[in-house]
Amino acid sequence: MIFALEPEEMGEQVQALGLARYRGQQIFQALHQAHAGGWEEITALPTAQRRRMAEAMPIEWPAIAQRFSSTDGTVRYLLRLADGAEVESVYLPDETFDGAGESVRKRTTFCLSTQVGCAVNCQFCLTATLGLKRNLTAGEIVAQVLTLLREHGLRPGRGLDRVNLVLMGMGEPFLNYDNVLRAISVLTRKEGAGIAARRITVSTSGIVDKIKRWGSEPFPRGRPRLAISLNASSDEQRQRLMPLHRGQGGMAALLAAVREFPYGSREYLTFEYVLLAGVNDSDEDADRVLALLAGARGKVNLIAWNMGPELPFKTPSDEKVLAFQRRLIAGGMPTYIRRPRGRDIYAACGQLKREVAHLPT
């Protein structure tokens, strides 16, 4: 897919089709910076060359099948891919986290999918009910980003807009590792979208061998941030909530990978913790989380469970969430509460299901 090509590869491709190699750079910039909708919009190329390229390398943008707008400004997009498969992406304007008495990290964020459905089967997540259909290609992941940039008129590569990417939508990124890696490489090119690696976060449910591989990748433009979905304070609890857990070696293997991670000088890991009322939100759970993460360089993001009509859980009270946060902070762990966004359109964390049947009327 054309969106997955690096500038140098684009040059090789167009040269093989009889165009000058430098045209590849022009095409890359037209797609990734100007968000050209088709070859007819790439006017840097002569008309005859545009026709030749349209035949040889079609530009297949994902179609926006539906968009849903929340009262808080969040927009959920249902994107239809070339083969008819559908995934969801979310636009989050001015996303805010609450920590120790203040709001921090105000930014625009795109939540992206890496698979059609998901195979991890987290019991509290609506996406899990879909099962896994297929991996997204690197080009499809890149195209999600470019689609949202084009929709909202954002140009992060020119220093005009601050855009963060979180690979936390449909799918487990580390079960589509190579395509995720390629997409990140393309998106961080300064000739294109120019999104800084530090503004990209990849979230994993805890694929231990891939966490280790991630730590050893060269990442010539910097390593994106890594988030690990913890969601439990014991092996038994995590196995019940995240059945993949046992096959990854349990808490011992996961935490060994965390402690052995080759942190950079200013690098840390994020531990995502979905709070489920009466399941994993007690004071004892908080104390166990502190013990588990002792010696890890990181912070915790707390997420009060976002309801799904088919799932047997409840959202804890605000007071319970704050109490959990205070206990972690008192134990020396930086802890933030992620404000729910887009709940009214089923765009919040764990709610993406590629359906409209459950939308409020």
What pTM, to 2 d.p., does this model score?
Answer: 0.93
Asked whether 113 and 128 are in contact (CB, 8 A), the reply is no
pLDDT tens sequence across 131-152: 999 999 999 999 999 999 999 9
Q: Which residue has the tokens 């959920």?
A: 76
What is the DSSP track for 1-47? -GGG--HHHHHHHHHHTTS-TTHHHHHHHHHHTS--SSGGG-TTS-H
Name the CA dihedral angle for 7, 148, 87, 340, rounded to a multiple of 10 degrees: 130
pLDDT at 161: 85
pLDDT at 355: 57
Look over the chain and give the mean of its residue pLDDT values, rounded to a whole number. Answer: 92
pLDDT tens sequence across 33-82: 999 999 999 999 999 999 999 999 999 999 999 999 999 899 999 999 99
Model confidence band, residue 7 (pLDDT cutoffs 50, 70, 90): very high
What is the DSSP track for 54-95? HHHS---PPEEEEEEE-TTS-EEEEEE-TTS-EEEEEEEEEE
End-to-end CA distance of the chain: 38
Domains along the chain with CATH numbers: 2-56 (1.10.150.530), 63-345 (3.20.20.70)
Q: Which residues are catalytic?
A: 88, 349
> Is the pLDDT higher at 356 or at 253?
253
